[in-house]
Amino acid sequence: MELRCKACGAVLAAPPIPGTPTTCTFCGAPQQPLGSAPVNPYGGPPAGYGQPPAAFGPPPGGFGAPPGGYGAPPQGFGVPPGGFDGATPRIGPPPGTGAVGAIVAVMVVLMMAGGIMGFVLMRRPSAGTAASSSSSGMPLAQLATLSLKLTPDAMAKITGVTAKGQGSDTLDMDVPLADKTWTRMTLDWDTSDPSHVKEVYLHADAPPSNDAAIRQRLATILGRRLDKDTRFNFDGASFDYDSTSARAECAPKFGSITYAHWKEKVDALWDVLRSGVLGQSVTISDTESRDWLQRGYTLTALGAIDPGIDVDHAAAAMLAAFPAVATEVSGGLRNKLAVDSPWFGDAEVNWEDAKGATMGEVYLYPPPQAAQKFPNQADIETCVQAAVGGKPRIYEGDHLKGDHSTDWTIPAGGEIRTYEHLVHITLSSHFTAHKMPRGEYTKLLDALDGCSKKK
């Protein structure tokens, strides 16, 4: 027979003397004397005691007897079953849940803790991952000595990355960088000549903290060739910077135009990228600045070309004097180059397409970023007047806009005409029988060069 407390449902031992009063060892509740109430034949508490407190659920039923039988708890009466000491509850399964309930409760707690921990691990911003990505990859300092004169296979030995095809004419390599700002570099090769990288592209996850300093360095290096959007573009070569990317490029050709010095241009712009954007100690030579970064040539240097050279030898003569000249056959032999002058930006020296033809005309254009219009046409006219003398002819263009051109005929031969958008030097004038002598030609260019530097 099993006796249970009418208040807490704990198993009670029989009193020493049957029928004497007794109290629950665990909760202190007085009990009805033994034998005064019928005992439930199914193992539950005496029928007169009522049901145990609802919070503990029904008494053990189909689970069988607990380990050790229904007698005294294994620890003796000093420690109540289920984790109660007297009337004070403590954390743990309620009486009657047994070992299975305790295990289930522990498993639930562990699963909840594991789930929360897993969620935290999945959702936490991965500083470790960022550190890993910034510490893995190619060190940024290594770019200071990296040459672009490498094939994709040779570059792969340095970067550990294999180039992949991008279309039929380009090979692409995406190189991770060990830097918190500039995290990736893309290199491109033209399949027509994979001996040299044609384009470098740096990627940043966010604008660098020294963005303003970068822009100032680029303005100093590229000067007036850099536009307000921090872009440079001239004769196939291009560079741009927009806070989260920097790009340097020159392709071997574009359409029908072939750029003989595209490798030199890419190398010069690579120096600009490393020096101006990354702030590395990379020297940009005076030759690079003059030829490939389009600082240009002086008007005096332009005058050193003999205007009497015939068309069959003109291209070689121009290339020898001006390595960056762009030569094109279009209605004649056209030679374009940058001019280093505050008043002018570019020049074009042309020969007629005819056997024995000599230099025919020279065009001088406004400086870069001048909206294709001279800001000082009057200064140019004053300079030419002083060099040439005589009385010019003035032709009115748009009257309301004040547009006009001024033309001087040079007695020794040729003429010069100024417009708001160009200066046109004609060595063979329709108004004179003689061609402009070389002395007059160089005198005119020297005068324009000198006047522009005085302002």
Residue 71 backbone phi and psi in degrees, to 5: -75, -150
**Strand 359-364 vs strand 164-165: parallel, antiparallel, or unpaired?**
unpaired
The pLDDT of 367-386, averaged and rounded, is: 93
The pLDDT of 306-311, averaged and rounded, is: 96
399-412 per-position pLDDT tens digit = 777 789 999 999 88
112-137 per-position pLDDT tens digit = 444 433 332 222 222 222 333 345 89
Q: Cα(212)–Cα(201) distance, rounded to whole angstroms?
A: 20
438-454 vs 377-388: helix crossing angle, rounded to 10 = 140
Q: Which residues contact 120 (CB under 8 A, 6 or more apart)?
A: none
DSSP state of 290: I
Would you say residue 356 has pLDDT above 90? Answer: yes
262-272 vs 211-222: helix crossing angle, rounded to 10 = 140
Q: How many residues does the chain have?
A: 455
Tokens of 76: 């003796």
CB atoms near residue 162 (< 10 Å): 12
Would you say residue 20 has pLDDT above 70? Answer: no
In Å, what is the CA distance from 181 to each residue of 172, 202, 205, 276?
Answer: 22, 10, 6, 15
Q: Cα(397)–Cα(377) distance, rounded to whole angstroms?
A: 14
Would you say residue 338 has pLDDT above 90? Answer: yes
Q: Cα(35)–Cα(413) distance, rounded to whole angstroms?
A: 146
Tokens of 82: 């289920």
The pLDDT of 87-115, averaged and rounded, is: 40
pLDDT band of 167, cuts 50, 70, 90: confident
Q: Cα(360)–Cα(10) distance, rounded to whole angstroms?
A: 120
- Average pLDDT of the chain? 80
